[in-house]
Amino acid sequence: MPFTLATWNINSVRLREPLVLRLLAEHGPDVLCLQECKSPVEKIPLEGFAAAGYTHMVARGQKGYNGVAILSKLPLEDCGDKDFASLGHARHVAARLENGTTIHNFYVPAGGDKPDRAINEKFGQKMDYLAEMRDWFHAEKPEKSILVGDLNIAPREDDVWDHKKLLKVVSHTPVEVEAFGATQDAGRWVDITRQDIPDGNLYSWWSYRSPDWDAADKGRRLDHIWATPDISNAAHSSHIGRAVRGWEQPSDHAPVFATFDL
């Protein structure tokens, strides 16, 4: 049975509940993975989502920061979470669909402003987080799995608006891109978005600081959908909902979509 999945850093699920409801109404993904929910689980506005047909949720939350949630029209089984880098943050949760597909929803630390762990603790935390993800995938090879989320790294030259200008900017530095690749390789993850859209500039995030984000188009592809090789060929119809970034009081991220025939 085919299902469509979307991932979206919502930047406060309670503040932007109307935008989530609009996305569910207009795009209707079967599964929506949200990051940066900034809410304890019990305060996520489930009633409205359930009324829209999303009666299943697996989530981890904390007050004011981080938080990940998987909303679904389809039944979900909670598969737990991992506290990578021992940060005590709500940055990962996993759930399994009835067809046996496991979905991992990640919110990788942004890493602060300076790409140097000696002077920037947050950058060190980001690198440790990626290293522990890598080690986990080496130890327990994922199968029939999808990994989505705000991974806070734009790995390819055409995943950023200017490769050379961003080489020293956190999210596109060579050391981050190398760690990103090692993490991806450890789980043999296939980048579904780029499998479907192999060429050309592609972004999912535009800074709030840009007065005209759409015209300036200084974006980065920070949000990703990966799948294990046993199901990657079942994926298609990938796209980024760029127009959503232009909705009123938006998140600075746009949702990313893919469909799986499983």
At residue 211, the pLDDT reads 81
Distances (CA, A) of 261 to 97, 132, 144, 237: 13, 31, 12, 11
Q: Give the annotated binding-site residues for Mg(2+).
A: 9, 36, 150, 152, 252-253
At residue 131, the pLDDT reads 98
Q: Give the annotated binding-site residues.
A: 9, 36, 150, 152, 252-253
At residue 257, the pLDDT reads 99
What percent of the chain is helix, strand and coil (3-state, nearest 5)? 30, 25, 45
Residue 150 appears among annotated catalytic residues: yes
Range of the domain at 49: 3-260
In the 8-state DSSP scheme, what is residue 253?
B
Distances (CA, A) of 151 to 6, 17, 111, 262: 14, 22, 11, 25
> pLDDT per residue over 74-111, tens digit each?
999 999 999 999 999 999 999 999 999 999 999 999 99
Residue 138 appears among annotated catalytic residues: no
At residue 3, the pLDDT reads 98
Considering 54, 107, 129, 203, which one is annotated as catalytic?
Answer: 107
Q: Which of the residues in the chain have pLDDT under 70? A: none
Residue 244 DSSP SS3 = helix
CATH number assigned to the domain comprising residue 98: 3.60.10.10
Considering 89, 92, 129, 150, which one is annotated as catalytic?
Answer: 150
At residue 210, the pLDDT reads 87
At residue 74, the pLDDT reads 98
Residue 230 appears among annotated catalytic residues: no
At residue 1, the pLDDT reads 82
At residue 96, the pLDDT reads 98
CA 88, CA 129: separation in Å to the nearest integer?
Answer: 12
Q: For residue 256, give the H/E element and its range.
A: strand 256-261
pTM of this prediction exceeds 0.75: yes
At residue 161, the pLDDT reads 98
Task: Domain count for the chain, please give it.
Answer: 1
